[in-house]
């Protein structure tokens, strides 16, 4: 694509409205096109056929760590994720996957419910609340309860939440363009937060290692795990993975849960149907035992969540319209033939879930929230990616977000403030709702 501005290239148009920019380019230039931004060449692969190359390629050809490590290693630390060869990270993902079992999820639902009861107690009878801020706070607590275990959850004071925000701010646009050592205040805060967080986690790991009893949680899975060659995970690797787990589940889930809330508030007919579904599913489960003998501790249960089909469809449709990861990237290492193009080594190759999820030639009326729509072509619905880099957190995210919204739908009725649906804030790396205030009233 030609640009009149040297070096800056298409940065300005892209940063103003990336999805509109990419969609327009798709119609003008087809499913494969390149442009430059701050001296780098980006090649986008859009639509089912072109995206297939991205998702089925080998890491040696389209490399993830070369583009991501700069951002992630200062946050997670060394020895995990994009700091290690991809086959090692794949083993780490496998270990994490074994930690996400159905029996764990059953327990998670009760942990999440406990956090929900405590957290939303502070809401009034009716009022307005910053939904995104509330769900962000809540999800740190639920994710930590479920993924870190009780020792670390009990450390989550306001100081620690601040450390978390400082670390999280490491995922910034500046971190893409500046070297990790650059003396920027936000980088210094990130590095300090990393050191402090790591200290806390190392202490919790040491305590757990020396404890007589074995817990049934992710921390225990990681402590007991070993690589294929028999080597156990080091404390540094475990603490890196614990940071990774928290960050992976935080932004993605808090934005998704917020957007879902705004869609529910906008579509009152859907909200009514969701309320009915909750009454039907959890009404019968409210006390006593479930059909399969699982004891019900409160209102929510994993088996009940499975039966909330409409809620499931609404979450799926929210992830179509507002997937948290707007763009995934790889460094092109070897020339790639695709359709009638050859992409040279050195380009950054990208797929945009957000753009794929809205292509007008692929979806029927993509701009409308329709939980009943059908999902057809391969690789055009990719909120969790696909292939070797695919997300392992999908099932956990569904459990977490469905628990939260089951509870909220049962207890509250929601409306948009002044009928206004939040705009998308595209200046954040994960597209957040701007002015995310919602009206609530207890049922
Ligand atoms: C990878 C989305 C929650 C852990 C990914 C990728 C996407 C994604 C799109 C692929 C990135 C790429 O190919 O470049 C999401 C969404 C979530 C979510 C939409 C929630 C709504 C979680 C949670 C965890 C998690 C809760 C862990 C507890 C991971 C891991 C990877 C990954 C380990 C692997 C990255 C790789 O192999 O390169 N996620 N994620 N995610 N996610 Fe998630
Ligand atoms: C992220 C978060 C940021 C995100 C964007 C920069 C927004 C996106 O444009 C590209 C993909 C990226 C970098 C991304 C990839 C996968 C990450 C790094 C995460 C979802 C955050 C956490 C996840 C990571 C692989 C989880 C690591 C887990 C361990 C156990 C170490």
pLDDT in tens, 306-360: 999 999 999 999 999 999 999 999 999 999 999 889 999 999 999 999 999 999 9
| CA of residue 4 to ligand 1 center, whole Å | 37
Nearest residue by C-alpha to atom 3 in ligand 2? 171
pLDDT at residue 249 greater than cutoff 90: no
Any ligand 1 atom below 6 A from CB of 383: yes
Any ligand 1 atom below 6 A from CB of 59: no
Strand order in the sheet with 126-130: 126-130, 437-442, 412-416
Give the contacts of 165 (CB within 8 A, at least 6 positions apart): none
| CA of residue 327 to ligand 1 center, whole Å | 12
Nearest residue by C-alpha to atom 1 in ligand 2? 248
The pLDDT assigned to 7 comes to 57
Closest ligand 2 atom, residue 81 Cα: 31
pLDDT band at 180 (very low <50, low <70, confident <90, very high): confident
- Token pair listed for 424: 């998308």
Angle between helices 309-321 and 268-285 (to 10 degrees): 140
Q: How many helices (H) and strands (E) does the chain have?
A: 18, 12
Angle at 129 between CA 127 and CA 134, to 5 degrees: 140
The pLDDT assigned to 9 comes to 65
| CA of residue 212 to ligand 2 center, whole Å | 35
Q: What is the pTM of this model?
A: 0.94
Residue written as token pair 């967080």: 197
Q: What is the 8-class DSSP label of residue 226?
A: B
Residues 57-88: b if buried by 16+ CB within 10 A, e if exposed? bebebbbbbbbbbbbbbbbbbebbbbbbebeb
Mean pLDDT of the chain: 90
Give the contacts of 5 (CB within 8 A, at least 6 positions apart): 12
Nearest alpha carbon to residue 230 among 78, 91, 82: 91
How much of the chain exceeds pLDDT 90, in percent?
Answer: 71
* Torsion region of 311: left, alpha or beta (phi above 0 gives left; psi -120 to 50 gives alpha): alpha
| CA of residue 243 to ligand 2 center, whole Å | 12
pLDDT digits (tens, 9 = 90+) for 266-286: 999 999 999 999 999 998 645
pLDDT at residue 5 greater than cutoff 60: no
Any ligand 1 atom below 6 A from CB of 330: no
Residues 16-47: b if buried by 16+ CB within 10 A, e if exposed? eebbebbbebbeeeebbbbbbbeebbbbbbbb
Any ligand 1 atom below 6 A from CB of 164: no
Rounded to an integer, the average pLDDT of 422-436 is 91
CB atoms within 10 A of CB 277: 18
Coarse DSSP helix, strand, coil percentages of the chain, rounded to the nearest 5 percent: 55, 10, 35
The pLDDT assigned to 156 comes to 73
Nearest residue by C-alpha to atom 27 in ligand 2? 244
Closest ligand 1 atom, residue 382 Cα: 9
Give the contacts of 311 (CB within 8 A, at least 6 positions apart): 274, 277, 278, 305, 402, 405, 406, 409
Ranges 13-17, 153-157, 278-282, most confident: 278-282
What is the best residue among 54, 327, 384 to mutate for testing ligand 1's pocket, by most ligand atoms within 8 Å of CB? Answer: 384
Closest ligand 1 atom, residue 328 Cα: 14
Instruction: Please report the ipTM that was assigned to this predicted complex.
Output: 0.98
What is the best residue among 247, 322, 324, 426 to mutate for testing ligand 2's pocket, by most ligand atoms within 8 Å of CB? Answer: 247
Rounded to an integer, the average pLDDT of 73-83 is 94
Any ligand 1 atom below 6 A from CB of 393: yes
Identify whether the C-beta of residue 225 lies closer than 8 Å to the C-beta of residue 232.
Answer: yes
| CA of residue 72 to ligand 2 center, whole Å | 7
What is the best residue among 44, 72, 251 to mutate for testing ligand 2's pocket, by most ligand atoms within 8 Å of CB? Answer: 72
The ligand placed nearest to the CA atom of residue 429 is: 2
What is the best residue among 70, 239, 244, 391 to mutate for testing ligand 2's pocket, by most ligand atoms within 8 Å of CB? Answer: 244
The pLDDT assigned to 41 comes to 93
3-state secondary structure of 375: coil
| CA of residue 322 to ligand 1 center, whole Å | 15
Q: What is the CATH number of domain 86-289+391-442?
A: 1.10.630.10
As for ligand 2, residues whose beta carbon falls within 6 Å of it are 68, 71-72, 76, 80-81, 96, 171, 240-241, 244-245, 247-248, 325-329, 429-430
pLDDT at residue 253 greater than cutoff 70: yes
pLDDT at residue 440 greater than cutoff 80: yes
| CA of residue 382 to ligand 1 center, whole Å | 11
3-state secondary structure of 57: coil
pLDDT digits (tens, 9 = 90+) for 383-428: 999 999 999 999 999 999 999 999 999 999 999 999 999 999 988 8
Distance CA 193, CA 41 (A): 33
pLDDT at residue 296 greater than cutoff 50: no
Q: What is the CA radius of gyration of the chain?
A: 22
The pLDDT assigned to 288 comes to 45
The pLDDT assigned to 8 comes to 57
Residue ranges of the binding site for heme: 391
CB atoms within 10 A of CB 402: 24
Nearest alpha carbon to residue 153 among 98, 210, 201: 201
Any ligand 1 atom below 6 A from CB of 429: no
Give the contacts of 25 (CB within 8 A, at least 6 positions apart): 1, 33, 35, 44
Closest ligand 2 atom, residue 72 Cα: 18
Identify whether the C-beta of residue 179 lies closer than 8 Å to the C-beta of residue 281.
Answer: no
pLDDT at residue 160 greater than cutoff 50: yes
The pLDDT assigned to 6 comes to 53
The pLDDT assigned to 295 comes to 46
Any ligand 1 atom below 6 A from CB of 396: yes
Residue written as token pair 């501790």: 297
Distance CA 267, CA 372 (A): 13
Identify whether the C-beta of residue 330 lies closer than 8 Å to the C-beta of residue 352.
Answer: no
Give the contacts of 374 (CB within 8 A, at least 6 positions apart): none
- Token pair listed for 8: 């800056």
Give the contacts of 139 (CB within 8 A, at least 6 positions apart): 249, 250, 253, 254, 257, 400, 404
């Amino acid at each position: 694509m030609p640009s009149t501005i040297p070096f800056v290239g298409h940065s300005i148009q892209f940063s103003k409205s990336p999805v509109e920019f990419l969609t327009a380019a798709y119609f003008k230039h087809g499913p494969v096109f390149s442009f430059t931004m701050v001296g780098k060449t980006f090649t986008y692969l859009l639509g089912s056929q072109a995206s297939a190359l991205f998702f089925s390629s080998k890491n040696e050809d389209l490399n993830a760590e070369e583009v991501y490590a700069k951002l992630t290693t200062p946050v997670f630390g060394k020895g995990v994720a994009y700091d290690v060869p991809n086959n090692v990270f794949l083993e780490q993902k496998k270990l994490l996957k074994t930690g996400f079992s159905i029996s764990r999820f059953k327990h998670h639902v009760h942990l999440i419910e406990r956090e929900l009861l405590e957290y939303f107690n502070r809401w009034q009878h009716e009022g307005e609340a910053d939904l995104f801020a509330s769900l962000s706070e809540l999800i740190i607590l639920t994710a930590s309860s479920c993924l870190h275990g009780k020792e670390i959850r009990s450390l989550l004071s306001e100081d620690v939440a601040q450390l978390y925000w400082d670390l999280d701010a490491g995922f910034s646009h500046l971190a893409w363009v500046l070297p990790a050592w650059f003396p920027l205040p936000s980088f210094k805060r990130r590095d300090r937060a990393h050191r402090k967080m790591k200290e806390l986690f190392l202490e919790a790991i040491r305590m757990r290692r020396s404890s007589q009893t074995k817990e049934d949680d992710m921390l225990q899975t990681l402590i007991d795990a070993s690589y294929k060659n028999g080597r156990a995970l080091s404390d540094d690797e475990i603490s890196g993975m614990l940071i990774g787990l928290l960050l992976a589940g935080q932004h993605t889930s808090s934005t998704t849960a917020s957007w879902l809330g705004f869609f529910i508030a906008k579509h009152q007919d859907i909200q009514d149907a969701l309320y009915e579904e909750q009454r039907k599913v959890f009404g019968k489960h409210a006390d006593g035992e479930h059909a399969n003998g699982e004891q019900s501790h409160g209102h929510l249960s994993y088996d009940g969540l499975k039966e909330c089909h409409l809620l499931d469809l609404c979450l799926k449709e929210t992830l179509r319209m507002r997937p948290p990861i707007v763009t995934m990237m790889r460094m092109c290492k070897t020339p790639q033939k695709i359709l009638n193009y050859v992409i040279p080594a050195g380009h950054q190759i990208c797929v945009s879930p957000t753009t794929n999820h809205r292509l007008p030639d692929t979806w029927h009326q993509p701009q409308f929230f329709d939980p009943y729509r059908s999902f057809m072509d391969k690789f055009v619905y990719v909120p969790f990616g696909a292939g070797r880099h695919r997300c392992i957190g999908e099932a956990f995210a569904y459990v977490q977000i469905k628990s939260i919204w089951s509870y909220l739908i049962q207890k509250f009725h929601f409306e948009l403030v002044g009928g206004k649906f939040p705009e998308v804030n595209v200046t954040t790396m994960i597209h957040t709702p701007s002015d995310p205030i919602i009206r609530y009233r207890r049922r």
